[in-house]
């Protein structure tokens, strides 16, 4: 699966192209637009290969687990970290 990723603040735009399946995820163009609830910028993204999931970490110390196995991607779990002093 090839993908292109663009980060703009807390918006994430993903383009997927899966040549092994027909039709590709999301149909023609295969775009998915995601937006986090909080105001933290996305600082890291990890794709879970063959799981239909994505993990994002934001600048406000929150990790989100996204599910792509449905029509509209959504956050299924979030975890807020506290920094030790």
Confidence of residue 33 (pLDDT cuts 50, 70, 90): low
Q: What's the Cα-to-Cα distance from 59 to each of 22, 33, 69, rounded to whole Å? A: 37, 19, 26
Q: What's the Cα-to-Cα distance from 26 to each of 22, 34, 64, rounded to whole Å? A: 11, 14, 21
**9-19 confidence digits (pLDDT tens):** 444 445 444 44
Mean pLDDT, all residues of the chain: 71
Fold of 2-80: Thrombin, subunit H (2.40.10)
Tokens of 41: 């910028």
Tokens of 59: 């600048």
């Amino acid at each position: 699966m090839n993908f292109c990723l663009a980060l703009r603040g807390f918006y994430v735009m993903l383009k997927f192209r899966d040549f092994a399946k027909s039709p590709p995820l999301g149909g023609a163009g295969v775009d998915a637009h995601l937006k986090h609830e909080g105001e933290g910028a996305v600082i890291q993204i990890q794709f879970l290969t063959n799981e239909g999931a994505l993990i994002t970490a934001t600048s406000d110390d929150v990790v989100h687990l996204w599910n792509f196995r449905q029509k509209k991607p959504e956050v299924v779990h979030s975890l807020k970290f506290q920094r030790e002093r």
